[in-house]
Structures are given as structure tokens and as C-alpha cells.
Structure 1
Amino acid sequence: MNAIADWWDGLELWLSGLPYVPQLVLVMVVALPLAYGCATVFDIALARALALLGRDRVPVPIDVASADRAGGDR
């Protein structure tokens, strides 16, 4: 565990020693794909969990359903 902590500290010190623009580029190259990947995984996992629970459909209000059966507003 100390090896990982030492590596991370070295990486952090190296990154913080860079000028602003290279810092920004490196962070965006790593952070944007990582954030997009995490959001995609969470979205898929949540969709599957809601489908398993039967909560993946939006309930239709009763007055809208009865208006559709009656021919709607004409």
C-alpha cells in the first residue's frame, strides 16, 4: 500500500509542478473519459435495477387514460 501512496504522491507533485495549460490538458484527457465511463456504467446499472424492480415505466395518470379512451379533446 505504501508503494501506491508513494507513486500517487509523486504523480501529484509532478502534476502540480506543471504550468496551468499542461495541467488542464492532462486532467481533461484523464478526467473526462473517466467521468463519462463512470456515468455510463451507473446509467446502465440503474436502468437494469429499475427494470428488475418493475419501476422502469412512467405511470399514466387516470384522467389522461380515460380521455384517450373517450376520444380525447376534440
Structure 2
Amino acid sequence: MDVVDRVAAWWDGFELWLAGLSFVPQAALVFAVMVPLCGAVAWLLDRVIATVFTVIGRGESEPPARTTEDC
């Protein structure tokens, strides 16, 4: 059995276990894993894109001036 088959078998078992849980533990587990994971991916993409823009000369030159005037 090669590595891909082992991962697929593990994933199938995990998926069956997760689907067998009731809604509250399913939701709690998904939120506990997905919220930090999605936050980390978003932060990483932000850093990569900012670095790429800086390298190609399109980075932010200065932050916009803050004004306290009411419109």
C-alpha cells in the first residue's frame, strides 16, 4: 500500500468518524480547526502578496494621512 492509499484510507476513516458525531461536536471541531487555519492562510497570503508587490515596485509608499474632519 503506497502513501496515497494510506492517506486516503485515513481520511475516509476520519470523515466517517466526523459524520457520525452529532451536530454540536461537529460544528465545534470544524470551527476549532477551520477558523485558525483560515486565519493563518489569509495572513500568509497577505504577506506573500505584499512581498511580491514590494519586489515588483508596487508596494505601499506611505500610509494615507489620517484626518479627523467630519464629512
Q: Do the structures match in fold with TM over 0.5?
A: yes
In structure 2, the gaps of 5 or more residues are 62-71
Identity, in percent, stands at 41
Q: Which residue identity lines up with residue 46 of structure 2 in the other structure?
A: D
- Aligned pairs for 1:1-74 (under 5 A) are 1-57=4-60
TM-score (norm 1): 0.75
In structure 1, the gaps of 5 or more residues are 59-74
Higher helix fraction: Structure 1 or Structure 2? Answer: 1
- Give the alignment's Cα RMSD to 1 decimal: 1.0
Q: CA deviation at 1:57?
A: 3.2
TM-score (norm 2): 0.78
Q: Deviations over 1:30-71 (max 9, x none)?
A: 00111000001000000000000111137xxxxxxxxxxxxx
